[in-house]
Amino acid sequence: MAEQIHTPVLLERTLELLAPALGRPGAVAVDCTLGMGGHSEAMLTAFPELTVVGLDRDTQALEIAGERLRPFGDRARLVHTTYDGIGEALDGLGIDVVDGVLFDLGVSSLQLDRVERGFSYSKDAPLDMRMDPTSPVTAETVLAEYPESELRRIFYQYGEEKLAPRYARRIVEHRAEARLTRSGELVDLLIAATPMALQRAGHPAKRVFQALRIEVNGELASLEAAVPVALDRIAESGRIVVLAYQSLEDRFVKRELAARTTSTAPQGLPIELPEHRPDFRLLVRGAELASADEIDRNPRAKPVRLRAAERIRRTA
């Protein structure tokens, strides 16, 4: 059952932050990363008048979440799309503005726990890594077809991997003899290419697998397109909560929320004119981390960084 394999991260804190917006009569929330529906189920249970629009690119996740949320009837509206499709999804449902938005970023428990999906470097599986199984590009495709310069770039940019040139070169040398098709083969190659002294600092495959996953699924591009649209669709006094698990995502969210919560008044202006006032205010200072107790209960909460904001005025 989904309930047995999926523990939502920071569930109580997320509900606490969203509660003032989601408890309003006729409220609508968007769960931009539905997964197996854990957060959505909790929101629908806690707020009896709430409707949740759940978005996910993963057809397996949508099937599981659909069963889980079936008791809520048409209060749960599920859409097969990436989170940058939030605008089109809401338009298709005839929804103009929403009261709450949740992004729980990164790879889902379903994707990690299904070995055959190839997301984990600790289990041998086909080099897939697609969040949407209908997408044509897999990790195997990237490793087989990208030029060395592009492999180096994505390992640097998406994995922040210092050994990117070495790893890219070894992959290109290997594929000249045989195509990489399994995660175990890639892990062995990366370990062999890593100086012994650096292997003690962490698993050599961790950052490369992260980079491949982000590239295969276009995660950062999708996030950069989705968050501004989501913020634009939030009603006055509505709220957004974002859970990020790696620095690239968190830095973008931090910048976007900072831009929306900062006055645009020129320096030296004696008074702040209404048009210069920010549209949002931050609900937490900096990035909020999971407590030690939360991490003990759910180790996948360890890297999470939570940011949240509330719309304080709506001009259009």
Percent composition of the chain: helix, strand, coil (DSSP 3-state, to 5): 50, 15, 35
CA distance 82 to 56: 6
Question: Is 66 annotated in some ligand binding site?
Answer: no
Query: CA geometry: angle at 224 spanning 139 and 164, to 5°?
Result: 40
Which of 269, 261, 271, 164 has its CA nearest to residue 211? 164
Question: Is 104 annotated in some ligand binding site?
Answer: yes
CA distance 23 to 26: 9
DSSP output for 223-242: HHHHHHHHHHTEEEEEEEEE
Tally of residues, the chain: 316
**Scanning the structure block, which residue is given the tokens 């991997």?**
161
CA distance 286 to 307: 7
CA distance 109 to 41: 16
Question: Is 38 annotated in some ligand binding site?
Answer: yes
Which of 238, 315, 239 has its CA nearest to residue 277? 315
Helices and strands, counts by H and E, the chain? 15, 7
Distances (CA, A) of 245 to 32, 50, 57, 118, 305: 15, 27, 19, 19, 6
**Scanning the structure block, which residue is given the tokens 């000249």?**
176
Question: Is 296 annotated in some ligand binding site?
Answer: no
Question: Is 83 annotated in some ligand binding site?
Answer: yes
CB 86 within 8 A of CB 15: no
Residue list, annotated binding site: 37-39, 56, 83, 104, 111
Binding-site positions for S-adenosyl-L-methionine read 37-39, 56, 83, 104, 111
